[in-house]
Amino acid sequence: MLKYCHIALRAPRLSTSCGVVTVTAAILLSVLLSLSLSLALSLSNVSALSKLSSCSVCCSSPRCSVSRGRGSCFLLCFPLLRAGTLFMFAYCPLFALLGYLTGSEDYYTHVCCTFITALNLTRCALDLQDGEEVSTVYNGVYSTELFSQRAVGVIEKHKSKKPLFLYVALQAVHDPLQVPERYTAPYSFIKDPDRRLYAGMVSAMDEAVGNITLALQQEGLWDNTVLVFSTGINWPLRGRKWSLWEGGVRGVGFVSSPLLKQPGTVSHELIHISDWLPTLVALAGGSINGTKPLDGFNMWDTISKGSASPRLELLHNIDPLYVDVAPCPGREPQFPLSQVVNRDSWANSGFNVSIHAAIRSSNWKLLTGYPGCDVWFPRPGHNSSEPGHSEREPLKLVMLFDIEKDPEERVEVSAQFPEVVLHFLKRLHYFQKSALPVNFPDDDPRCDPGSRGAWGPWA
**Any idea of the CA torsion for 143, 147, 148, 154, to the nearest 10 degrees?**
160
Specify the pairing of strand 2-4 against strand 165-168. unpaired
Q: How far apart are CA 171 and CA 148, in angstroms?
A: 11
Closest CA to 64 of 85, 97, 91: 91
Sign of the torsion formed by the C-alpha atoms of 275, 281, 287 and 293: negative
Q: How far apart are CA 135 and CA 383, in angstroms?
A: 44
Instruction: Please return the burial class of 151, using the count of CB atoms within 10 Å of its CB with bins 0-12, 13-18 and 19+.
Output: buried
Report pTM. Answer: 0.76
Per-residue model confidence as pLDDT tens digits over 151-206: 999 999 987 777 777 778 889 999 999 999 999 999 999 999 999 999 999 999 99
Helices (H), 230-332: 246-249, 276-283, 300-305
Question: Could you read off the pLDDT tens digit of each residue along the chain, which spans 459 residues?
Answer: 232 222 222 222 222 222 222 222 333 333 333 333 333 333 332 222 222 223 333 333 333 333 332 333 333 322 223 334 343 333 344 456 899 999 899 999 999 999 998 899 999 999 999 988 899 999 999 999 999 999 999 999 987 777 777 778 889 999 999 999 999 999 999 999 999 999 999 999 999 999 999 999 999 999 888 888 887 767 889 999 889 999 999 988 889 999 999 999 999 999 999 999 999 888 888 888 888 889 999 999 999 999 999 999 999 999 999 988 888 887 665 555 544 445 557 767 889 999 999 999 999 999 999 999 999 988 877 665 444 444 567 899 999 999 999 999 999 999 999 999 999 999 999 999 999 888 888 888 998 998 889 998 887
Q: How far apart are CA 29 and CA 180, in angstroms?
A: 28
Please answer whether residues 354 and 397 qualify as being in contact, where contact means their C-beta atoms are separated by less than 8 angstroms: yes
The H or E element spanning position 126 is: strand 121-126
pLDDT value of position 1: 28
Please answer whether residues 376 and 238 qualify as being in contact, where contact means their C-beta atoms are separated by less than 8 angstroms: yes
Please answer whether residues 19 and 293 qualify as being in contact, where contact means their C-beta atoms are separated by less than 8 angstroms: no
Domains of the chain (ranges, CATH numbers): 2-220 (no CATH), 314-433 (3.30.1120.10)
